[in-house]
Amino acid sequence: MVEFTYGEIYLVEFSMMEFTVVEFIAVGSTAVEFAAGEFAVVEFAAVEFDAVGFAVVGFTSVEFAAVEFTAVDFTSVEFTGYQR
């Protein structure tokens, strides 16, 4: 399980190799696009996610304004919940 709090993103929790809940509080979502099993672009008012790519084996990169997460790999990723 990985939990982090950054800026106005409240909680992103990974549990049992799955996205269980991705919750954003007080963040104005401008574009969420799903294409071919990937997040193409997810943009928010305060934080921009560049190319948050999902494949069968994991992320390619998750980049924030001041913090960058790179090559976070899972054997299987299942997006099970999204709350806004």
Structure tokens at 10: 């409240």
For residues 20-30, average pLDDT: 40
pLDDT at 78 over 50: yes
pLDDT tens for 49-64 read 444 444 333 344 444 4
Res. 82 pLDDT band, cuts 50 70 90: low
**Cβ–Cβ under 8 Å, residues 77 and 58:** yes
What is the structure's pLDDT at 81?
58
Eight-state DSSP code of residue 60: S
Extents of the domains making up the chain: 2-70
Per-chain mean pLDDT for the chain: 43
Secondary-structure breakdown of the chain: helix, strand, coil percentages, each rounded to the nearest 5: 0, 55, 45
